[in-house]
Structure 1
Amino acid sequence: MKGINENDFARIDLNLLVVLMVMYEVRSVTQAANRLYLGQPAVSAALKRLREMFDDPLFVRASNGMTPTPRAEQLVQQFAPLMQDLHRVIFTQQPFNAAEDNYSFRIGMSDWLEHWLMPDLLAELARVAPNVDVKVIATDPWKAIPLMEQQQADVVITVGNETSRDLTREKILRAGFSTVWHRDQIQLDAPLTLQQFVSYEHALVSYRGVSESALDRQLQQHGMARRVRYVTPHFSALPMLLKRLPLFATVPQGLVPSWCTLYALSAAPVPVSMPDYEVSLLWHNARSEDAANRWLRDLLRGLIRSP
């Protein structure tokens, strides 16, 4: 295909082509002016420019109005489908039909969010969007911003407050933490006391590999400390670990109902004050009005907010 010379288009006014099409239809400068909500001088000036552009009279006066020349006939036949396609491209946004469209979404999240949300999400997709696939991109609150700035995911589900001018963060849900343990390893009844809390060893999830968290700073205010026996970046490692060893783990509340059911864990409120976490959707501003992305965000909002 011959390359396009952008300079050729610099002297073309799309409005002139609209005048050409209307003039061909009505065969009258006056009627064209009325149709286009322009004055007759403006239409006459546009017609003059069209004649210069195509080096042809285009329309000549006759007893029944302005008669198109063969060149005008040819141009209209060629331009009519192009103008229709251009109108469709400009003014018709491509819809997203979840029930029929084939689509693959990339969703960034950490493993605890995947454990919490993905079973419900996939079940809902199977029901309402059978041709939609999901690819999870492993991330955490510190990786989420660069991941989205580089548009390596369609949406990220994350916690925290960081964002950038390229991104939109929408906070969806605020929730707290619970301490869990396996009832065969630690035989305690809720409520969990502070003394009991520090008398056992702990497993800690840390994306940056540190052995302390906000919880430890709260303990220090009470003059206490806990021993962290195990540090991991993966929440998914905890249930089997708790089944084998007498350990406490403090996890987001979103995990607790399913973990207690699936792994026979016990749970209790953390015996010191802990700041809540906020689950947010994060997306690139370039995708804000994309129909498929908006549909996905609506679906995720409902799942995150559901009890």
Structure 2
Amino acid sequence: MTISERDFRAVDLNLLVTFLVLMRERSVSRAAERLFIGQPAVSGALSRLRGLFDDELLVRGVNGMEPTSRALKLEAELLPALQSVQTALFQTERFDAASAERTFTLAMPDWVEVWLMPRVFAELRRQAPRVRVAVKTTDPFQGAAMLERHEMELGVATLPERPGWMRSESLAEMGFSCLHHGDRLRLAGPLTLQDYIAHPHVLVTYRGAFQSGIDRLLEERGLLRQVQYTTQQFSTLPSLLREVAALASVPAALAEHWADCQGLIAHPLPLPSPTFEISMFWHAAKDKDPALAWLRGVVAEAALGAPSGA
């Protein structure tokens, strides 16, 4: 792509930086604090930005300054570009894991943390003893928004949608298994379809639904299961199953893990199991970050060695 010098004559790079800080803070006073300049200077910059883009960009609303649709579009396009400029100008190309002191922020559902992070953390301790990791909880519907809000650097989850600015890499494909506690629910032999629909179920759902893809498979056979309890956390299931004669269908690798350490009994689903893909994902603006590239390599290697429940 050829750059036209004429297009940039009216553009001051500092103006664009001020714009992005204003979009993040939604306040002239807070933006001034972040930029270490006076409020009049920020107000003047906002006025110039409005003239440059022929748009109000930020208008006063009930909860402070609200961005226009034009401002949101500009932010989505300018942020990766300026982050790339920042990387090119100031970031070294090399990442020395052995001596690095950095905190990585990751986000994933709780079951993915159980499945993946013990291996990742062990490898980080071996390769990069001064690196710290903060893991936040997310779900497939929040990951993109958390990246946009800079609340994490790397996510691991299933991805129902992939915005154009998102980069991703598949880590594993997995199905489901069924769990119960032998003291509460005594089942003779392999789990049958009749057993599956005869007993109540607990279900993990991020949006409060009482149905999942498994229920649609049952409906195709004219069958219905009894989902009587839903939660957003997989971690509550072992305690529930120890107290109630119920079944839970969970990712196969998690079922394998809990059968080993939680005293639960795991069965293959008595119908064709739907499969799903687990991916790690990050913002395109971080593609050239050598530290994050190194971390992605560690996560990918850990996923290859993690149980899949197959």
Aligned partners of 2:100, 2:168: CA distance in 1, in Å? Answer: 27
Deviation of residue 161 (structure 1)? 4.0
Higher gyration radius (CA): 1
Aligned partners of 2:91, 2:119: CA distance in 1, in Å? Answer: 33
CA contact (8 A) 1:149 1:166 kept: no
Aligned to 2:247: 248
Deviation of residue 191 (structure 1)? 2.5
Gap change, CA 1:186 and 1:129, over 3 Å in 2: same
Aligned to 2:229: 230
Structure 2 length-normalised TM: 0.68
CA contact (8 A) 1:175 1:277 kept: yes
Deviation of residue 190 (structure 1)? 4.8
Deviation of residue 133 (structure 1)? 0.8
> In structure 2, what residue type is equivalent to 1:170?
E
Aligned to 1:180: 179
Aligned to 1:205: 204
Aligned to 2:257: 258
Give the RMSD, CA atoms, in angstroms: 2.0
> In structure 1, what residue type is equivalent to 2:149?
Q
Q: Deviations over 1:67-101 (max 9, x none)?
A: xxxxxxxxxxxxxxxxxxxxxx8698341111111
Gaps of 5+ in 1: 1-6, 11-88
Describe the SS at the equivalent of 2:229: strand
Aligned partners of 1:90, 1:213: CA distance in 2, in Å? Answer: 48
1:50-129 alignment, distance < 5 Å: 93-129=92-128
Q: Deviation above 6 Å: which 4+ runs of structure 1? A: none
Describe the SS at the equivalent of 1:251: strand
Aligned to 1:301: 300
Gap change, CA 1:92 and 1:283, over 3 Å in 2: closer
CA contact (8 A) 1:171 1:279 kept: yes
Aligned partners of 1:177, 1:105: CA distance in 2, in Å? Answer: 30
Q: Deviations over 1:241-278 (max 9, x none)?
A: 11111110000012122201111111111112232010
Aligned partners of 1:231, 1:297: CA distance in 2, in Å? Answer: 33
Deviation of residue 208 (structure 1)? 0.2
Gap change, CA 1:184 and 1:291, over 3 Å in 2: same
> In structure 2, what residue type is equivalent to 1:251?
V
Deviation of residue 118 (structure 1)? 1.8
Deviation of residue 226 (structure 1)? 1.1
CA contact (8 A) 1:200 1:248 kept: yes
Aligned to 1:285: 284
CA contact (8 A) 2:106 2:154 kept: yes
Aligned partners of 1:279, 1:155: CA distance in 2, in Å? Answer: 13
Aligned partners of 1:201, 1:211: CA distance in 2, in Å? Answer: 12
> In structure 1, what residue type is equivalent to 2:101?
N
Gap change, CA 1:92 and 1:160, over 3 Å in 2: closer
Aligned to 2:270: 271
Aligned partners of 1:217, 1:100: CA distance in 2, in Å? Answer: 51
Aligned partners of 1:131, 1:216: CA distance in 2, in Å? Answer: 46
Aligned partners of 1:228, 1:265: CA distance in 2, in Å? Answer: 19
Describe the SS at the equivalent of 1:113: helix
Q: Deviations over 1:15-72 (max 9, x none)?
A: xxxxxxxxxxxxxxxxxxxxxxxxxxxxxxxxxxxxxxxxxxxxxxxxxxxxxxxxxx
Gaps of 5+ in 2: 1-8, 13-87
Aligned partners of 1:152, 1:288: CA distance in 2, in Å? Answer: 17
- Identity, in percent, stands at 37
> In structure 2, what residue type is equivalent to 1:103?
R
